[in-house]
Amino acid sequence: MDLKGKIVLVVGGAGGIGLGIGKALAAEGCRVALADTDEDGLAKAAKTASADSAFVWRTCDITDRGQVSKLFQWLGDELGPVDILVNSAGINVANRMMSNIDPADFDRMIEINTTGTFNCIHAALAGMRQRGSGLIVNIVSLAGKRVMLLAGLPYCVSKFATGALGTFVNLEECGNGIKVTNIYPGETNTAIVDKRPTPPPPEKREKMLQPEDIAACVVTVAKLPARAVVPELVITPPHMMLG
């Protein structure tokens, strides 16, 4: 499927996996909008685009449904209705065990990682239903399939919930021409690993997945014909293989 001219919204697009996906889809001829809470990051991300694949961008707190509604209104005015929604926003914290978690951090992670994703999907679906087509890609995590001490309690809980959200919407909307793909990456070299109690050294980061690896998966899924649905995609570095 030719992606040229498709309108893409990448939520969590200021850096990391989100920006990598935005660049990859722009290279395919998509018209890409980036959304994030990080205004400086968005401005810097926009400068990384090539002349023929410029990004438009807007700040948005996806936990605020009013802001999410305005984001989609802005996108419609700026580029048009969204064809591909990529949900890549997510956070983690250093104190992530049951023994040291701040309950406020737990709530905040559920609010961003899960409820924020719900808010964006909910806002996108009306237009997709009307047109009878659309693709939603949720960047979940391997911690949404396997409980991992490394990832921490609130992250695992939020990512399991986000995986269930995407799977349910896929089941409900597939008959309406809307496809949902949950991608479950293993360790990926992004800023989120800096939040670990002990951030990994450069030599360990080199062995992790890189944002462009996940981006290549998204492009492949987006190019599939309407008859092909990819409900789940797991991608890991060799040291995190699942049995």
pLDDT (tens digit per residue) in 89-148: 999 999 999 999 999 999 999 999 999 999 999 999 999 999 999 999 999 999 999 999
pLDDT score, position 162: 98
With respect to residue 1, please indicate whether it lies within any of the assigned structural domains.
no
Q: What is the pTM of this model?
A: 0.96
With respect to residue 156, please indicate whether it lies within any of the assigned structural domains.
yes
With respect to residue 31, please indicate whether it lies within any of the assigned structural domains.
yes
With respect to residue 27, please indicate whether it lies within any of the assigned structural domains.
yes
pLDDT score, position 220: 98
Alpha-carbon distance values, 90 to 113, 186, 242 (Å): 5, 15, 23
Catalytic residues: 155
Among residues 141, 178, 15, the alpha carbon closest in space to that of 34 is found at 15
Per the listing, tokens 């047109």 go with: 131
CATH code at position 108: 3.40.50.720
Residue 97 lies in domain? 7-240
pLDDT (tens digit per residue) in 199-230: 899 999 999 999 999 999 999 999 999 999 99
With respect to residue 2, please indicate whether it lies within any of the assigned structural domains.
no
With respect to residue 205, please indicate whether it lies within any of the assigned structural domains.
yes
Total number of domains in the chain: 1
Alpha-carbon distance values, 52 to 32, 44, 55, 79, 215 (Å): 12, 17, 10, 15, 19
With respect to residue 82, please indicate whether it lies within any of the assigned structural domains.
yes
